[in-house]
Amino acid sequence: MKAISMSKQALVAAVFGAAGAGALVYAPALYQQADARQPISIEPPAGAPMSFADLIEKVSPAVVSVNVVSEREVGNMGNMEEFFERFRGLPGFDDYMREREEELEDEPQTREARSLGSGFFISEEGYIVTNNHVVQDATEIEVVLEDGRELAAELVGTDTQTDLAVIRVTESGPFPFVEFETDTQLRRGDWVVALGNPFGLGGTATAGILSADGRELGGNNPYTDFLQIDAAINRGNSGGPTFDLQGRVVGVNTAIFSPTGGSVGIGFAIPAQLAVTVTDALIQDGRVSRGWLGVTIQDVTEDMADAQGLEEARGAIIADVNPDSPAQSGGLQRGDIILSVNGTNTTDATSVTRLVGGLMAGSDNTFTVLRGGEQQTVNVTVGERPENPNEIASSNSDSTDKSTSDSAKDGPLGLSLRPFTDTDRRTLGLNADEAGLMISGVDSDSPLAQYDLRAGMAILSAAGAPLRSVSDLETAIADMKEKGRDKLLLAVRNGQRTLFVTADISEAASD
């Protein structure tokens, strides 16, 4: 079971499965009275349904249990580690164990692991949607249909970013299948039905409502937000479907929020709109190709919006642009605030990442940015997201040290500052011609003390203007005060990362 600790609660991925799906169900003659290729649709009742039985009966043939065998690495001492732990500290024992562990270092141990999950057919050819964590590292995959048949399946493709996977049964169809609902937006309070295989019990149905949408579960995953439902989801429901009252799949069950590991009425499902995009890519290419700009971005805060003259805090500000990246080639710059992508307004850094991630590599796209207080349009041909984009480092300069002596021991904003040397630029991973001021001291009453600024960091720009001298910073402060603003946007360099912060300049000297 995949769990993420959150205070005393836990997000528990239902590694044992749940199955189900639904919109239009194509079924062989066993499940239909008429043409096997004729879609079955379900007319939703007005108001609260008296029963979900008709819905569940129609879609259940498309839901499967997923049985997985995998190889998992274990400690070199295997299951004896806990036993030996009680003897730690006894005379001579630790030395003996250290020698044994060194002998076993080059002998990795693995064991066979079995897990259960859920899934559902999305085509008559036998393609099944499930969760990545259900089939991860699988050496054997078997699915169990509602009629009891056990069929071998093979992996088609997985996507760790969204925790989705597609498998396909090796036996020929046709199989009953369901479709995703991507046209209608669920509202809080709408009825939903979840099907799956909790705790390996077999086909189980639960019902509830959509509690919320757009949920973010934390972690470093900007590509997925979740539907929150109160239909019971437990271990084993992972990969199973959540349906609307017309038998259409609105979500893929993936996790629960629980203090005990069991359902407490807070379950999470991957939205159908995202699931259909990812599964289509997995079926076609076996992988998901995401658009990539090559920038580091952060949310725009209220103070940043005030400093830049924005009416509201929205969009994402570019903190860094990778060299030789699509963003650099297209003309995006550090300090640009991305307001829209292809006409779709952005709300924060996550929304920008999702919009860009949904673009096709090699496609031409229009970005509306705020630069220097004015909106501009920048056309960028996005690239394909590298497997490890964070490992792409900024270029360094080879130039020699040509330091200057223009420094401020008691400079503006309570900072002691001096212009860059070439050594500074190399240390900070900057190009040879980039401007900035090194911080050599910070007063305790500085308006920037809250950001934990310290000697060795640098300020690259103020209000979007590069800083080549202390007087440049003083000029930027004066300009903002003349415009009636009491916040100044600064680009701060810490190591090889840039972060934008705002300084309160309401009491700063402007002369």
Cα–Cα distance for residue pair 86/95, rounded to 1 Å: 15
Spatial neighbors of 373 by CB under 8 A, at least 6 apart, are 308, 309, 464
Contact 434, 458 (CB under 8 A): no
Of the candidates 238, 340, 416, 461, the residue annotated as catalytic is 238
Q: List Cβ neighbours of 481 (8 Å cut-off, separation of 6 or more).
A: 505, 508, 510
Catalytic choice (159, 163, 320, 336): 163
Measure the CA–CA gap between 234 and 13, rounded to whole angstroms.
8
Question: Is 133 one of the annotated binding-site residues?
Answer: yes
The whole-angstrom separation of Cα 122 and Cα 453 is 54
Residue 172 a catalytic site member: no
Q: Which helix (H) or strand (E) holds 284?
A: helix 272-285
In whole angstroms, give the CA distance from residue 438 to residue 407.
Answer: 9
Tokens of 55: 């819905």
**Helix/strand/coil for 337:** strand
Is 236 a known ligand-binding residue? yes
Contacts of 166 (CB under 8 A, 6+ apart): 127, 128, 129, 130, 155, 156, 157, 158, 279, 282, 283
Strands (E), 304-363: 316-321, 337-341, 344-345
**237 marked ligand binding residue:** yes
- The length of the chain, given as a count of residues: 511
Q: What is d(CA 393, CA 386) in angstroms, rounded to the nearest whole number?
A: 13
* First-to-last C-alpha distance (Å) of the chain: 63
**C-alpha to C-alpha distance for 448 and 221, rounded to whole angstroms:** 30
The DSSP element (H or E) to which 458 belongs, if any, is strand 458-462
The response to whether 399 counts as a known ligand-binding position is no
From the list 60, 65, 118, 133, the catalytic residue is 133
Annotated binding site for substrate: 133, 163, 236-238
Annotated binding site: 133, 163, 236-238
Show which residues are catalytic: 133, 163, 238
